[in-house]
């Protein structure tokens, strides 16, 4: 079991190493890649935000169902995404026509909860990091539609997440890592399904 300083000093690097490859693959999926490379139109931006909503919204509900603690509630990222999509004129949420959503395995233990939250909180750091170049690349009509990216965490929030992990400990490191990689895999499969729904049944893989 992992507790105290070893959570941040030992478990964090293990989680980072275990999730590096799936994180890279998701970033290169056709739905998400336009956020950081290539052409970025209003349509592609909206498609990426809708894909993000499709796993943020149900995973937030799963996190709340497992741990109904005001001090542990993640930021309302799905609400930020919904607000951005509304400003883009995307009506899929209000019309209940968003397509496939995450329906994977919810957390069943504190270790699994932290592993899955690690995926979300780590992604939040990444979203914050791309904000400035994203604004430069967005079409002029979309440059102010960045509530989701504006609201992402800073280093203080990252440390608070690890304080929560310590409070929920001791954690089973192997179970935490397994939950993180499983969740990444579910998100990756969801991204592929969403791409296939909108572009036929071909492979969603891209060249590395």
- pLDDT value, residue 157: 80
> Residue 48 in contact with residue 12, Cβ under 8 Å?
no
The dihedrals phi and psi of 173, each to the nearest 5 degrees, come to -60, -45
All structural domains of the chain, each given as residue ranges with its CATH number in brackets, are 5-198 (1.20.910.10)
Query: Higher confidence at residue 83 or residue 206?
Result: 83
- pLDDT value, residue 125: 87
Please say if the pLDDT value at position 208 is more than 60. no
| Residue from 134, 102, 96 nearest 119 by CA | 102
- pLDDT value, residue 68: 87
Q: What is the DSSP letter of 75?
A: P
d(CA 139, CA 106): 37
Query: Higher confidence at residue 206 or residue 31?
Result: 31
């Amino acid at each position: 079991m992992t507790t105290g300083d070893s959570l941040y000093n030992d478990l964090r690097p293990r989680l980072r190493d275990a999730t590096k490859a799936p994180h890279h693959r998701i970033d290169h999926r056709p739905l998400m890649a336009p956020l950081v490379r290539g052409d970025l139109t209003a349509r592609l931006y909206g498609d990426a935000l809708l894909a993000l909503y499709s796993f943020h919204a149900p995973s937030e509900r799963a996190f709340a169902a497992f741990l109904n603690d005001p001090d542990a509630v993640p930021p309302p990222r799905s609400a930020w995404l919904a607000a951005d999509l509304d400003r883009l004129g995307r009506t899929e949420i209000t019309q209940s026509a968003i397509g496939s959503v995450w329906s994977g395995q919810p957390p069943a233990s504190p270790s699994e909860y932290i592993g899955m939250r690690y995926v979300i909180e780590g992604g939040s750091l990444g979203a914050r990091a791309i904000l400035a170049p994203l604004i430069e690349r967005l079409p002029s009509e979309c440059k102010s539609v960045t509530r989701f990216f504006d609201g992402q965490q800073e280093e203080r929030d990252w440390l608070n997440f690890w304080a929560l992990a310590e409070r929920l400990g001791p954690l089973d490191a192997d179970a935490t890592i397994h939950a993180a990689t499983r969740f990444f895999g579910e998100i990756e499969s969801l991204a592929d399904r969403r791409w296939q729904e909108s572009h036929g049944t071909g492979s969603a893989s891209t060249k590395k």
